[in-house]
Structure 1
């Protein structure tokens, strides 16, 4: 095995099991014999990836076959490495099946999703007391978290700056039924121990949230030492610059694995239809009483959801948020379908050109 110094982390004498390797991974990896290694992606730096393996780490590129398929490993992926010590290189040749896939919609022409991390057990949605505390943004994060298959937990950082942290937690709990809401202060450490139940050994947690909410400070607190740069927020809007520039997997002292992410300025919901269902269970439960199964909860007669709004048992802003996200999801799906049609047209145009060129060659 060609060991190397990691570009975005420290050497860790961990076993694959410490990294979350399971019997399912054993089964998927069993078809590989010879000079192959298994590992887990810790970070990506431009065209190379740092991969944690048994007892250390290697820096690897990806195979031409994966590039042609457009398959690139995400942080948290378990991968197969072709190790060539005589050449001093390691190459990622396969990505093992993913238990969960955390992605967000990106404004591309084909409406593609941007993969944030893979094989996540829990997502810490980090917000902060002050201007960043926005229930509508939290609903969007919840939609992507639910769609990933990971368990969401809402973390209100900088709670020491709030007059009444319990009230803030109650406000977010109202828009996130059944989701834990935990006020903490990463700077002072107050309340951080309430995160312990979600930090079991060999489990993987991803941190998401906008810039300036204190994700890097929280990582440093949980690691017990400074491993991430932090910066002060601006007084007038409480925003901070993006001190985290790459996604990176850290191994905490207790054995949990945590992935930090750059702050997300834009939160597209991608193809998170299942995420919307998990984010608005109260509205879906009410919708079962609607007269029409395809009720949009707008002007249709016999709408149980609008009846609940009129009765005051469902906040109108909650329904508005649901409708806005559903409309956005429909738009992004339409955009993706249009993108596929365009790609197919380009493909047939290219085939036609090749056939014409062949015809010209034959005619010479």
Structure 2
């Protein structure tokens, strides 16, 4: 029975590394699954390709796990109790094979963005929004996490300076795979194919509007994620990735797609509209869809301001701009 359970989990990235930790696992009393979404102490956990269950932190794990970096994250494998209710209590977390994390100013330890990630695809657009400064920051996240990564320079059809930008990127990130893509005409995808190893898990990170959803749709051969246009006037991207799931490519590679994986970076290269867009993306993970970002509980924007991730003066400017 246990072997059958593990075989059902293998398509979700379950490997011998995790199996070795389950010598005392009792499938009659417990359930095993992988977190695909987290928000304010509640989780969506995949028990198989066909079953997703809501879960919550048990009192035991809250008591034993006080450090934020040790709390469950997207991608974690967790053991849950089998209750009669719809929601399952998370009892423990299996040791992680990797942690995608970022250093938050004035905070220790690092913020865990996702767990058990094998590869990171860093997607930036070759158009006028391109910023080497931002690219360096995204690459640092993967390097700091000790996870291998590749750089995708997307929308090369919109940039006559593609060759020059590719040269600069390759000189800066010596030895790293750098792939130019034209997602409209679907050029360059043959170079990506060898990087998608069956039953390994990757994430796509990069600025809003860089074309991450379009790339994933092209890889799947159908629309699994909604895509949004970019207004040429101000290059303001609309947040388009709102699904909460693991996407499985035809060859069995897994892409973790969750709004919980966010990188909030503000620097002088961003326009005000681009900064506001990042705040809008953060607001999508607020507890309430009609959150006014003032005194509501579990407001993701206010939490980011308190944590120093969003500058307070920028938050006030955004509130004024939004008419709130």
* TM norm structure 1: 0.64
| 1:239 is aligned to 2:236 | yes
Structure with higher helix content = 1
Runs of 4+ in 1 over 6 A off after TM superposition: none
Pairwise mapping of residues 191-270 of structure 1 onto structure 2 (< 5 A)? 191-245=188-242, 248-260=245-257, 262=259, 264-266=263-265
CA distance in 2 between partners of 1:36 and 1:172 (Å): 48
What 5-or-longer segments of structure 2 have no aligned partner? 1-6, 268-306, 309-324
Distance change (3 Å), C-alpha of 1:111 and 1:131: farther
| 1:155 is aligned to 2:152 | yes
Deviation at residue 222 of structure 1 after TM alignment: 1.7
Deviation at residue 47 of structure 1 after TM alignment: 4.1
Pairwise mapping of residues 98-117 of structure 1 onto structure 2 (< 5 A)? 98-107=96-105, 110-117=107-114
Deviation at residue 227 of structure 1 after TM alignment: 2.1
Distance change (3 Å), C-alpha of 1:150 and 1:247: farther
Residues 43, 249 of structure 1: 8 Å contact kept: no
CA distance in 2 between partners of 1:178 and 1:75 (Å): 29
Residues 54, 86 of structure 2: 8 Å contact kept: no
Indicate the residue corresponding to 2:291 in structure 1.
none
**Most deviating of 225-234 and 68-77:** 68-77
Residues 210, 265 of structure 1: 8 Å contact kept: no
CA distance in 1 between partners of 2:201 and 2:129 (Å): 25
Identify which of 16, 24, 28 aligns with 1:31.
24
Residues 83, 89 of structure 1: 8 Å contact kept: no
Deviation at residue 245 of structure 1 after TM alignment: 4.4
SS at match of 1:29: coil
Distance change (3 Å), C-alpha of 1:181 and 1:199: same
| 1:41 is aligned to 2:5 | no
Distance change (3 Å), C-alpha of 1:239 and 1:32: same
Deviation at residue 42 of structure 1 after TM alignment: 1.7
Deviation at residue 46 of structure 1 after TM alignment: 4.6
Distance change (3 Å), C-alpha of 1:90 and 1:233: same
Residues 219, 260 of structure 1: 8 Å contact kept: no
CA distance in 1 between partners of 2:222 and 2:40 (Å): 27
Residues 73, 113 of structure 2: 8 Å contact kept: yes
Indicate the residue corresponding to 2:13 in structure 1.
20
What 5-or-longer segments of structure 1 have no aligned partner? 1-13, 269-334, 337-364
Residues 79, 93 of structure 1: 8 Å contact kept: yes
Indicate the residue corresponding to 1:189 in structure 2.
186
Deviation at residue 56 of structure 1 after TM alignment: 2.7
Deviation at residue 177 of structure 1 after TM alignment: 0.9
For this pair of structures, how many residues does the alignment match? 255
Residues 12, 49 of structure 2: 8 Å contact kept: no
CA distance in 2 between partners of 1:114 and 1:202 (Å): 26
Distance change (3 Å), C-alpha of 1:48 and 1:261: closer
Distance change (3 Å), C-alpha of 1:246 and 1:118: farther
Output one character per residue of 1:59-87: Cα deviation in whole Å (capped at 9) or x when no partner: 22221222342443211111112122x34
Indicate the residue corresponding to 1:77 in structure 2.
76
Deviation at residue 191 of structure 1 after TM alignment: 1.0
Indicate the residue corresponding to 1:56 in structure 2.
50
* TM norm structure 2: 0.71
